[in-house]
Amino acid sequence: MKILDRYIFRTVASATLAALLVLMLLELFMTLLVELEDVGKGNYGFPAVLHYLLLIQPQRLYELFPMALLVGGLLGMGSLAGGSELIVLRAAGLSLIRLTGSALQAGLLLSLAVLAVGEFVAPSLEQAAYEQRAVAKSQNVAIRGGRGFWARDGDYFIHVRAVLPGVRLVDIHVFKIDAESRLEMVTAAEGARYAGGDWLLEGVSRSILGADSVQTEQLASLKVVSAISPKILDVLASNPSELSIRDLRVYVDYLERNGLDAQSYWLALWRKLLAPLAYLAMLVVGMPFVFGPQRAAGVGQRLLIGLLLGLAFFLFNYLLGNVVLLYGYPPLIGAGLPSLLFLGAGFYALRRLR
């Protein structure tokens, strides 16, 4: 049976990689058309566009892989069905579950490889791509998060307008509240840098609010101890879905320590941890279309089936995640339930085909 497993593995893996290559080329072409509209802004020329496109490809690979695996599984196993090889294997006594298990081996190995890329390679390269593109366009700085971001550190509420390469902050405002939630002090700084485990504010103006007076002082610099480290800073203005598992874990801890809502980040964290289950669920739910009445379908039909199944999974996953966040249910439900339902539906359909 090892020979059979290797044969199905090669068939599904090669079809998946081919589908992934096609999807990435299509996405690359569409992104290139969008980026060409900005050529000429600042120092953003065609070489900078190519460099940007190169850096974001690992993230695009991670994002497009689920659809590629589904389409690759349909095309790979469909080619075996079209050549009557599946009929021979069924006649030899192999069940549909056994054949699906061989296909899942390829899906699992490819999924783990892609998850490693999404965890250790893609996030840092994509962030570098966005920063370098922003630097080239503005000829000066890279700003994360548009208008900046807000953060909380105990009794302090912090607004940072921009983050520059090298972990430097621009235009910072720090608001301190007392035990009765009244504004106690406002600190404004032109910039800040991280040194020796502390933040060093530069060009500081600090106002202390009393009962009937305000005391203001000007300082050239001010050392501040804060729980917001550069590692936390890297994810403050990021979309949860674009963060690595490690960064999500760091930010969830930071939010919970400060009494802030971390549900959306928990949802993103569970989705990444359960991603292999989601990938395999999509592959399983496509197998009945290979073994069933559609086994004689052409390549175009299988591609359509794959796209529709992928779209259905994406919509269901997105809607259930929002419902879970809206009604306060555990994020694990929103992350795991769609995969379990699709996995169950796929195996149920396979058993019905016996």
Judgement on whether residues 173 and 65 belong to the same structural domain of the protein: no
Judgement on whether residues 86 and 19 belong to the same structural domain of the protein: yes
In a domain, 255, yes or no: no
Judgement on whether residues 292 and 337 belong to the same structural domain of the protein: yes
Average pLDDT, the chain: 85
Judgement on whether residues 38 and 130 belong to the same structural domain of the protein: yes
Lowest mean pLDDT, pick from 57-61, 231-235, 280-284: 231-235
pLDDT, position 18: 95
Indicate if the pLDDT at residue 141 is higher than 50. no
| pLDDT band (50, 70, 90) for residue 186 | very high
pLDDT, position 164: 63
Judgement on whether residues 19 and 73 belong to the same structural domain of the protein: yes
pLDDT, position 296: 52
In a domain, 6, yes or no: yes
Confirm if 201 and 224 have CB atoms less than 8 A apart: yes
Judgement on whether residues 129 and 149 belong to the same structural domain of the protein: no
Confirm if 6 and 13 have CB atoms less than 8 A apart: no
Strands 214-224, 198-209: pairing is antiparallel
3-class DSSP state of 118: helix
Judgement on whether residues 206 and 116 belong to the same structural domain of the protein: no
Indicate if the pLDDT at residue 140 is higher than 70. no
Listed residues 177, 202, 233: the one ending a domain = 233
3-class DSSP state of 229: coil
In a domain, 307, yes or no: yes
Judgement on whether residues 130 and 149 belong to the same structural domain of the protein: no
Indicate if the pLDDT at residue 206 is higher than 90. yes
- The arithmetic mean of pLDDT across residues 185-211, rounded, is 89
Residue 345 structural domain: 2-134+274-352
Q: Tens digits of per-residue pLDDT, 268-316?
A: 999 999 999 999 998 888 888 887 665 555 656 766 777 788 888 889 9
pLDDT, position 98: 86
Confirm if 305 and 92 have CB atoms less than 8 A apart: no
Structure tokens at 342: 């699709």
Judgement on whether residues 52 and 83 belong to the same structural domain of the protein: yes
In a domain, 253, yes or no: no
Cα(197)–Cα(191) distance, integer angstroms: 17
In a domain, 203, yes or no: yes
3-class DSSP state of 233: helix
In a domain, 42, yes or no: yes
Residue 215 pairs with which residues in a beta bridge? 208
Listed residues 203, 233, 263: the one ending a domain = 233
Helices and strands, counts by H and E, the chain: 12, 6
| CATH code for the domain in which residue 213 is found | 2.60.450.10
* Alpha helices by DSSP H, 139-274: 230-236, 245-257, 263-273
pTM for this predicted structure: 0.77
Q: Tens digits of per-residue pLDDT, 316-344?
A: 988 999 899 889 999 999 999 999 999 99
Q: Structural domain tally of the chain?
A: 2
- Return the amino acid letter for 167: V
pLDDT, position 166: 64
